[in-house]
Structure 1
Amino acid sequence: MRFPLNIFKLAVVLFMILLRTTESATAVEPGPAGGGMLTPWGEVLLQQQAAGPVLPHLEYPRPTLIRDRWRNLNGRWDIFLPDADGKIHVPDSAVPNHPARSILVPFPAGSVLSGVPAAAPQMHYRTLFTIPADWSGNRVHLHFGAVDWGAVVYVNGREVGRHLGGYTPFFLDITEAIHAIPASDQPDSAAQSNLLDVIVFDPTQSGDQIRGKQSTEPTGIWYGASSGIWQSVWLEPVPASHVRRIETETDIRTGTVDVRLDVSMPKPNHFVAVEIFAGEESIAELYGGLNGPLRLAIPVDKLVLWTPDSPFLYTIVVRLLEGETAIDRVQGYFAARTVAILPDENGYRRVNLNDRPIFLQGIIDQGYWPDGMYTAPSDAAVESDIRTMKSLGFNTIRKHAKVESERWYAWCDRIGMLVWQDIPNGNNGTTAAQHQFERELAAIVDARRRHPSIVVWTLFNEGRGQHRTAELVALLRKLDPDRLIDAASGWKDYGVGDFNDVHQFPGPAMPPQHDPNRASVLGSYGGITLIVPGHLWTEETWGYRHATDSEALLREYRLRNGQLRELLPRGLAAAAFHQFTDVESECNGLVTYDRRRLKIPPEDLKEINRISGRDRNHPGIQFPAREESLPDGPGS
């Protein structure tokens, strides 16, 4: 079977971007792309792969909307890259040819764990899949967690959809393109294989898309590009009428919960049953129609507010009923919490969580991995990173210039870490690029706003791609009126949004002028480099300020933290230390890039960051207690 595609013509027509050809990629065996630095979890995965095929990232990818039945498509796929003539030559045979030229999905091309030495602006993925017999009678959805950047998807040679945006999930209804599903009384072995082809386009810095810190020429604060499929791919059966989304809004004063459902193909005889659980206990239940929000009441004695110290999550179960028959059942979760900017007794604007002031003691996390680049080597690695940051005394993660998988935010929800979320930057130098930024901004907010851990959106960082700031703040406020907005972190301030944000290296510092309507925050400070031999990505390292050894780094950190506390009575409401880990050549993390060494003893970091109860110099600011132990992994 031939693919009737001219890659370059299609790229121009579909995406209106100029793509550069690259040198041809040679076939590789599964395993590290030319060796490279490994995290402990990446090392385990490669050992497992050497013993036999192991599927990475087997966990359910969408924890806010769970169904019982699904099928993971992660694993080894074929991949085809441009040859010397700049064209991608795909064999006529529909049978994948492992391992002649293969990639381990969902790791991006060019990462160690992918097995592919380098990415290209255009790549063609291919795999086979079957549909279980008990899915007969359902629609079949094909889900992608994220593909950087543009994707055209074919099933059995038939185009089933296209998507633009490297940070957002999408799904395609492939029911009409798959082969007939075996009858339910037949074994799965009777199923006919279906051919899945995904053609990916990623211009990185030469295109109009948002890309964060990705670069084809990484150096300093710019890191390697993560092209192609970089989050889980999976299948799901759904009835023709099914629940597509659960939205909740909780009033923490009354305990009422408004539930809004998005249902595909609703019918007049459709009803829903909504049930809320606190742990295993059912605490509220309601049957109703689909013509408006359903209001449930949480008993006063069961109302628990979500905080970093007590990250309590309610489970919500929704059944879609046709008459008395349940045709769909989904499960999600939500939290009771509010976030706002309110004045303290001195008139300074403070971040308030559930109407109580809290200082955002943050740490910057770039979300890069030496073996998986944008993709963590495992879900356990994701959990370990978040627990480590919390155990070191931070209550906030500033997720910098990257949007993570939904499971990352679910771990923050569960562990109790506030998230100060950046919108990744693009160049935004043209009208087309600005429109693309706005489209991707709306898609990112829509995909992640159900996570209670996210309390702040950052529109622009240090002026990169900054444009029409006031207009975009208004747009973002409309998209998500329940979170704070950091309009411009560390650059040109137009007096809009909820934060007046400065950066200072090594700092700390705060905005020179008090703004009576906005909180004063320090979006980035620190950046102190300590080289740890044996744990370097490259010998050509970079940083803002250098420490000679662990003791010198500890002294610097203690000094900066003490100076930070002196700014609290003057109105400082939040700060983000730069940064959690080293990233490639940038070596100013508290943890080495391979996650194997903490540069400062964890007990010292915890002690420096710990402020018990209320700070005596400013009693209006609360700091969460720090009682968790450091998990296995870094520093162990």
Structure 2
Amino acid sequence: MTTSVLNVESLPIPRPEHPHPHWQRNEWMNLNGEWSFSFDPNNEGISKHWYSNFEFAYSSRITVPFSWVSPLSGIGSDHKGIGWYRRTLKWQSIDSQTRLFLRFGAVDYSCDVWINGVHVGSHQGGYGSFEFEVTQHWVADLENTIVVRVEDFDHDYQARGKQGYGEIRGIWQPVWLESRPQTYMKDTKFVTTIDGQVNMTTRIIAQEAGSADFTLKFAENSILHTEKIDLIAGENEFKLSIHITDPILWSPDTPYLYEGELQLSGSFGTDTVSTYFGVREIQTVRFDERGYRWITLNGKPIYLNGTLDQSYHKTGYFTYPSDEDMRDEIYLMKRLGLNFVRIHIKPEEPRKLYWADKLGILVMEDMPCFWGNPDEKARTSYEREALEIIERDYNHPSIFSWVMFNETWGLKTNAQDIRLTSDLQQQTSYLKETQEWVREKYHWAKRLDPSRIVEDNSPCNYDHVESDINTWHFYINGYDQLRSHLNEVVARTFPGSDFNCIGGNVQSDAPLMNSECGNVWGIEGGAGDSDLAWHYRYMMNEFRRHDKLCGFVFTEFRDVTNEFNGYYRLDGSDKDFGYDAFVPGMTISDLHSPDFIVIDAPPCQTVSAMDEVKIPLLRSSFSDKYHGQHLQVKWELWYDNLGTRVVAQSEHMSVNWDGYGVADLLPLYVLMPDQDAVAVLAVSLINNKEEVITRNFITFDVRSGNQSVRFEGGGDCINIPVDAYKEHNFEQQWEAIQCAKINGAGQGHYAYDVTLPDGMEKKMIGEIEIMFEAGAKRVLARNLEGAKQNEMGLDLMHGADARVEYNPNTYYMTDEERHPSRVNVLVEGKQIGSFYLPDDPADSRGVLSWHYQPLANKLDEAGSYGYLCKVSVPGQLAAKLDRNRSFRLELKAEGGGLALYGRNAGRYPIDLLIRYR
């Protein structure tokens, strides 16, 4: 056989930037790129000396640092087992006396490494970074061969996390060589306080005893300090405290980093490391006379607007294709007005954490879970890996919390259902001895890092043991159900309560916070791919009603392979929440403002025309930016009268904005229109510069009793229910939303018989106008083949096919993808108008489609709506109709399907209207 040698130097390097910008030396070599690769299904590589038989030709090429399962690896095989990597290269340090280290960002799961046929080390664990010194085995000026053997068999004891979306088998983070002097700095930990105190602990590995100078230079040398230290041979720990006058504090709004370098110099030369720190403090504090704590950043309460991030990319899986992709992830979060992210059941890549530090977003970082029983082997593996994670990521100012376990995964003994258990099964499968081990891990993490919040278990089974933060998960759809649930949780949260605890444990005064919420799991069979905008607005509003609640984690940041409830699609494209249709300029970020106006009312109410409705308001403040100021609450009640925006009321009131937390404001009294309408109460909080701080809204279905519509220029109308058609010829046709909406797939028409008033009632009909609400009709697999529900178990959470088009709740939320159609209007066979229908949208604008959903946990084309279509009948044809007083009306789709909305569906409270005068 011939040797397979790659000319990797001529190829572009993927992920060329330094993998660990928080600890970076200048002399290093990136080893990302093409390596030789072979699977070893029969485990014969060691016996046949693949590590030293350089004549053996590996079968494939793989692109490091991408998991061999991912498309970007060039392999794209979900092979569970053994993989071998090989690369041959030259590299020589500038100083021949330096030490050389081979470093790995992460390898899943266990690996062995050889240099030039000599075994240099082993490592176990899929998420931590590790290194091997290879100095004595590396030959300068000659080709050196690196061989890596990786095993990944998904053992029950492995900390795997939630890899079902895309496995991270093999090397999945960057690999690099690094040169250091004989005596070098292993790491430094920074602990800061907001008065400017910076406490540093540096571990130094010394080749021999002697003295050295330790120098730090930060903020363009404005912080400069040198200290002489004595070293012993081996590992040394050196502590140093400095004080910064008038420190610039790190926060999501002002993510200032003290960037610079550490130097260790002596007879061995100089070791220089570029690094950074942020000055900030995370605490939990009682304010005023409250019997509970809030989370504080830099001594002030912070309301945590957060999202769950699976950190999954469609081509790299859990490895981002580029540094720009990681940066853009943080940008996309901040664009939504979020100030924190929970990295779900895995530590984040250090490079992405760097962008969280640099751009400013707080991070709650989970430890990855194992899925088997919590036996001794699983515990030992977990502890080793958790230590690597905390040690590596300790210095990121963005990280404010460590989460040791999630939803009791890996903590139940011989439990079949990992997620949903009865109270009895939960008590018996989450053993008391395991609970005590979890308590031990909580205290262990607190000893390792007393500067951060530590959570024992982020629970969906109300099973805390001991924690710095009292969080819980819920997935509930429906306003009444959600409101009732939050009221109960808040009422049962107080020191000494056994709610949300297990094993006889009780609550402390720890802050109450939600750590997972949404409606993806709160709907029978899962939400499929459906609108989340309607639910999201009232959920945010309900959270802010409660003074005791200090934040949330929405599931999730992006769609993933079988959960479609992200703010963004998996490819990062936008979804359209539609809020600006209610309050001009409103975006989702208005719901994340630290200063917020709560409208203490349902998202939509059915009311009678001319009713006066009392609307309670609350203010929620988790910022002191406007404290002591008088702000303005401006509001208006408006409605869309068939394309004309009508403002029924418009007022403002001055409010004294002072103090943290939630407090009552004066209520509003709004007078409803005197006709059928979808009325909107739009509220804005304005500062003294006339700038909008936040916006909010609710809606009303106003009913007059006779479906009256007021037309400009007068006229009467005939209302025809959309399902009162005389015929249709669509191949596929069905009703939705209790027959208030009808759908036809593909090409076809709906035909109606229209009878105008006779001559006794209306002597002459001079003008006829036809109005209706229509959308295109995207046909799903369930419309053709019938619905199929998913089993809501472990497989689905591990990434199993969601059958989204078969899901009975699916109706795609409005996004950048369009499915247009065209509807032609024919009267007596003559086309009088044609309307382009850009899409079949579903978002918060589908007020009536949401309001008239019969069940909260089953969705029937919820949030869907159409476009207002109005066409006048030409004069000659109108004259004919004046004589005959009846005609055939056809609404004909050219091929993209047709959805027609009646009085109780869509955006407009109308049936098919025939206006005449």
Q: TM-score range by the shorter chain?
A: 0.7 to 0.9
Report the more deviating stretch, 394-403 or 266-275: 266-275
Provide the rounded CA distance (Å) in 1 between the counterparts of 2:86 and 2:624. Answer: 50
The answer to whether the 8 Å contact 1:243/1:262 transfers is yes
Matched, 1:476 2:419: no
Matched, 1:359 2:310: no
CA offsets, 1:229-262, max 9 Å, x none? 0000000111110111122222322x23222221
Amino acid at match of 2:146: L
1:341 is aligned, of 284, 298, 310, to 284
Alignment of 1:516-535 (within 5 A): 516=495, 517-528=509-520
**Quick one: structure 1 residues 347 and 622, their matched pair in 2 at CA, closer, same or farther if it must change by over 3 Å?**
farther
CA positional deviation for 1:413: 0.6
Matched, 1:109 2:109: no
The answer to whether the 8 Å contact 2:102/2:177 transfers is yes
CA positional deviation for 1:164: 0.8
**Quick one: structure 1 residues 443 and 364, their matched pair in 2 at CA, closer, same or farther if it must change by over 3 Å?**
same
Provide the rounded CA distance (Å) in 2 between the counterparts of 1:582 and 1:494. Answer: 29
Q: Secondary structure at the match of 1:572?
A: coil
Alignment of 1:583-622 (within 5 A): 583-600=560-577, 604-611=586-593, 613=595, 617=618, 621-622=622-623
In structure 1, what is the equivalent of residue 499 of structure 2? none
In structure 1, what is the equivalent of residue 639 of structure 2? none
Alignment of 1:479-558 (within 5 A): 479-490=448-459, 491-506=461-476, 510=486, 511-512=489-490, 513-516=492-495, 517-528=509-520, 544-546=526-528, 548=530, 552-558=531-537
Provide the rounded CA distance (Å) in 2 between the counterparts of 1:522 and 1:333. Answer: 31
Matched, 1:385 2:326: no
Gaps of 5+ in 1: 3-26, 31-48, 182-190, 215-221, 530-540, 628-633
The answer to whether the 8 Å contact 1:230/1:375 transfers is yes
CA offsets, 1:8-30, max 9 Å, x none? xxxxxxxxxxxxxxxxxxx9xx9
1:233 is aligned, of 175, 179, 185, to 175
**Quick one: structure 1 residues 133 and 256, their matched pair in 2 at CA, closer, same or farther if it must change by over 3 Å?**
closer
2:275 is aligned, of 332, 337, 345, to 332
Amino acid at match of 1:554: A
CA positional deviation for 1:283: 2.7
The answer to whether the 8 Å contact 1:270/1:320 transfers is no
In structure 2, what is the equivalent of residue 121 of structure 1? 81
Q: Secondary structure at the match of 1:289?
A: strand
2:313 is aligned, of 337, 352, 369, to 369
Matched, 1:435 2:375: no
The answer to whether the 8 Å contact 2:544/2:620 transfers is no
1:207 is aligned, of 156, 161, 165, to 156
CA offsets, 1:347-374, max 9 Å, x none? 2210011111101111000011110111
Q: Secondary structure at the match of 1:102?
A: strand
**Quick one: structure 1 residues 598 and 54, their matched pair in 2 at CA, closer, same or farther if it must change by over 3 Å?**
farther
The answer to whether the 8 Å contact 1:248/1:258 transfers is yes
CA offsets, 1:500-551, max 9 Å, x none? 221111365553522332111111111449xxxxxxxxxxx99833565xxx
Gaps of 5+ in 2: 232-237, 412-433, 496-508, 580-584, 599-617, 627-691, 694-814, 818-917
2:14 is aligned, of 53, 56, 60, to 56
CA positional deviation for 1:207: 3.5
Alignment of 1:413-424 (within 5 A): 413-424=357-368
**Quick one: structure 1 residues 561 and 494, their matched pair in 2 at CA, closer, same or farther if it must change by over 3 Å?**
closer
**Quick one: structure 1 residues 276 and 543, their matched pair in 2 at CA, closer, same or farther if it must change by over 3 Å?**
farther
Alignment of 1:37-186 (within 5 A): 53-83=11-41, 85=42, 87-88=44-45, 90=50, 94=54, 101-118=60-77, 119-132=79-92, 134-179=94-139, 181=140
Provide the rounded CA distance (Å) in 2 between the counterparts of 1:108 and 1:624. Answer: 46
Provide the rounded CA distance (Å) in 2 between the counterparts of 1:151 and 1:175. Answer: 20
**Quick one: structure 1 residues 124 and 544, their matched pair in 2 at CA, closer, same or farther if it must change by over 3 Å?**
same
The answer to whether the 8 Å contact 1:615/1:622 transfers is no
1:248 is aligned, of 190, 198, 203, to 190
Matched, 1:577 2:554: yes
Number of paired residues? Answer: 543
Provide the rounded CA distance (Å) in 2 between the counterparts of 1:151 and 1:621. Answer: 48
CA positional deviation for 1:299: 2.1
In structure 1, what is the equivalent of residue 253 of structure 2? 309
**Quick one: structure 1 residues 120 and 213, their matched pair in 2 at CA, closer, same or farther if it must change by over 3 Å?**
same
Provide the rounded CA distance (Å) in 2 between the counterparts of 1:171 and 1:415. Answer: 29
Provide the rounded CA distance (Å) in 1 between the counterparts of 2:52 and 2:259. Answer: 49
CA offsets, 1:550-601, max 9 Å, x none? xx4322221222122223x2x0122100001111122221211122343546
The answer to whether the 8 Å contact 2:14/2:322 transfers is yes
Q: Secondary structure at the match of 1:515?
A: coil
Provide the rounded CA distance (Å) in 2 between the counterparts of 1:407 and 1:542. Answer: 39
Amino acid at match of 1:609: L
Provide the rounded CA distance (Å) in 2 between the counterparts of 1:384 and 1:109. Answer: 25
The answer to whether the 8 Å contact 2:182/2:207 transfers is no
The answer to whether the 8 Å contact 1:344/1:620 transfers is no
Amino acid at match of 2:127: Y
Provide the rounded CA distance (Å) in 2 between the counterparts of 1:312 and 1:297. Answer: 17
Amino acid at match of 2:71: V
CA positional deviation for 1:604: 4.8
CA positional deviation for 1:492: 4.1
**Quick one: structure 1 residues 381 and 332, their matched pair in 2 at CA, closer, same or farther if it must change by over 3 Å?**
same
**Quick one: structure 1 residues 120 and 528, their matched pair in 2 at CA, closer, same or farther if it must change by over 3 Å?**
closer
Q: Secondary structure at the match of 2:135?
A: coil
Provide the rounded CA distance (Å) in 1 between the counterparts of 2:304 and 2:451. Answer: 17
CA positional deviation for 1:322: 1.2
Matched, 1:297 2:243: yes
Which structure ranks higher in relative contact order (CA pairs < 8 Å, sequence separation ≥ 6)? 1
The answer to whether the 8 Å contact 1:463/1:492 transfers is no
Provide the rounded CA distance (Å) in 2 between the counterparts of 1:97 and 1:396. Answer: 48
Q: Secondary structure at the match of 1:407?
A: helix
Between the aligned residues of both structures, percent identity stands at 29
In structure 2, what is the equivalent of residue 24 of structure 1? none
Provide the rounded CA distance (Å) in 2 between the counterparts of 1:472 and 1:210. Answer: 15
More strand by share: 2
In structure 2, what is the equivalent of residue 6 of structure 1? none
Amino acid at match of 1:163: H
CA positional deviation for 1:134: 2.1
CA positional deviation for 1:326: 4.7
Amino acid at match of 2:226: L
The answer to whether the 8 Å contact 1:505/1:525 transfers is yes
In structure 2, what is the equivalent of residue 45 of structure 1? none
Provide the rounded CA distance (Å) in 1 between the counterparts of 2:146 and 2:623. Answer: 53
The answer to whether the 8 Å contact 1:611/1:623 transfers is no
In structure 1, what is the equivalent of residue 212 of structure 2? 271
Provide the rounded CA distance (Å) in 2 between the counterparts of 1:472 and 1:55. Answer: 40
Provide the rounded CA distance (Å) in 2 between the counterparts of 1:575 and 1:624. Answer: 22
CA positional deviation for 1:377: 0.8
Structure 2 length normalisation: TM-score? 0.56
Q: Secondary structure at the match of 1:196?
A: strand
In structure 1, what is the equivalent of residue 342 of structure 2? 398
